Amino acid sequence: MNLRDTVVDAVSRYRRAALLVAGAGAAALGLALGYKYLLRPEKRVRVGVVAQIFIHPLKSGKAQPVARADVHKMGLRSGDAQDRHWLLVTDDGHMVTARQEPRLVLVSLTCHGGQVVLNGPDMEELRFPVRQPGNRVVDCRVFGADVQGRDCGEEASRWFARYLGPEKPLRLVHYEPHMKPRRSADSEPVFPRTETVAYPDVAPVMLLSAASVEDLSSRMEKPVTVERFRPNIVISECEPFAEDSWEELQIGSVRLRRVMSCGRCLLTTVDPETGIISRKEPLDTLKSYRQCDPAQKHIYKASPLFGQLHAVKQTGALQVGDEVYQISR
């Protein structure tokens, strides 16, 4: 090897060594920064208190207030009653909600001692087992997505026919843990593909502050109650719409992560005390001051925003009176 080749080879070796050292240094720096972030202590700031907890076992049915709830990946649960795990469907499996049948908001579905209990205005109480493994599994459609449900039987179907009218043959179905769920991202792409729900519109948890409801009521001739907006968790001791900025929350042993705001629809115009739909308020008032940022029109379109939709980052239990902490690093 001549002198020139020797010099070129030496320079080449030096460059390779320098690149390896630089690469190792960059990797070490990246790891150090990553560890620094991961090990950075969490900051917990108290932002409110849990004032109310609601479970809506029947989609569009009457809210069931509870003092304590277990929070699972697919929503809140108290005993056998799990949020939005019962659904009314047509004979061909399409969902029926208070958008089509406003009087559904007056139907109470509760669970006691392994029995489902149905009650409604001027109706005799009906009881049947929560678990009916011999009944058929129905393929259902919720907002165009496929999901399953166990048919709750003929007596339940006849009960709803008496309540809503015999010309509307409907079936009550129950979602069971082993069944095919819906992916939240199929309805709202901002949700991770791993998030699933049974019969909720899109999210397992909806959170709202009492102050936001009070703010809305102050702008209307007739005040509204929090039940009209069908939240799971109601927070007090905070400013109106403070919940819009809470990205991650710790409540009891539960960790929640905000995914998006709740775009409001015609269902808010159904009075939860009368079952009458106005098709006007409070939706019109909300539209006057709760529109999304123009950059988010592709997500929310013309729907006003009221309340926040959360995914469950860590399961656990929460109860009325629990302090609510915003988490940051």
How is the chain split into domains, by residue range?
A: 44-328
Mean pLDDT by 10 residues, the chain (329 residues): 48 50 53 58 96 98 98 98 98 96 98 98 98 97 95 97 90 96 95 96 98 98 97 98 98 98 98 97 98 96 97 98 96
DSSP 15: H
What is the radius of gyration, based on Cα positions, of the chain? 26
Residue 261 Rama label (left phi>0; alpha psi -120 to 50; beta): beta
Cα–Cα distance, 47 to 140 (Å, whole number): 40
Paired with 171 in beta bridges are 89
DSSP string, 281-295: TTHHHHHHH-PPPGG
Q: Residue 28: its pLDDT value, please? A: 55
Nearest alpha-carbon partner for 190 in 143, 256, 263, 259: 259
Q: Residue 167: its pLDDT value, please? A: 83
Q: What are phi and psi of 102, to 5 degrees?
A: -55, -30
Nearest alpha-carbon partner for 178 in 131, 114, 109, 111: 131
Under a CB-based contact definition with an 8 Å cutoff, are residues 318 and 52 in contact?
no
Going by DSSP bridges, is the β-strand pair 254-263/233-236 parallel, antiparallel, or unpaired?
unpaired
Residue type, 10: A
| Counts of helices then strands in the chain (DSSP H, E) | 6, 22
Under a CB-based contact definition with an 8 Å cutoff, are residues 233 and 212 in contact?
no
Residue type, 153: G
Model confidence pLDDT, tens digit, residues 275-310: 999 999 999 999 999 999 999 999 999 999 999 999
Residue type, 264: R
Under a CB-based contact definition with an 8 Å cutoff, are residues 242 and 207 in contact?
no
Q: Which CATH fold topology does 44-328 show?
A: M1 Pyruvate Kinase; Domain 3 (2.40.33)
Q: Residue 254: its pLDDT value, please? A: 98
Q: What are phi and psi of 168, to 5 degrees?
A: -120, 85
Q: Residue 19: its pLDDT value, please? A: 46
Percent of the chain with pLDDT over 70: 88
Q: Residue 11: its pLDDT value, please? A: 42
State the CB neighbour count (10 A cutoff) for residue 145: 15
Model confidence pLDDT, tens digit, residues 235-287: 999 999 999 999 999 999 999 999 999 999 999 999 999 999 999 999 999 99
Cα–Cα distance, 99 to 236 (Å, whole number): 29
Average pLDDT value for the chain: 91
Going by DSSP bridges, is the β-strand pair 108-112/248-251 parallel, antiparallel, or unpaired?
unpaired
Q: Residue 329: its pLDDT value, please? A: 85
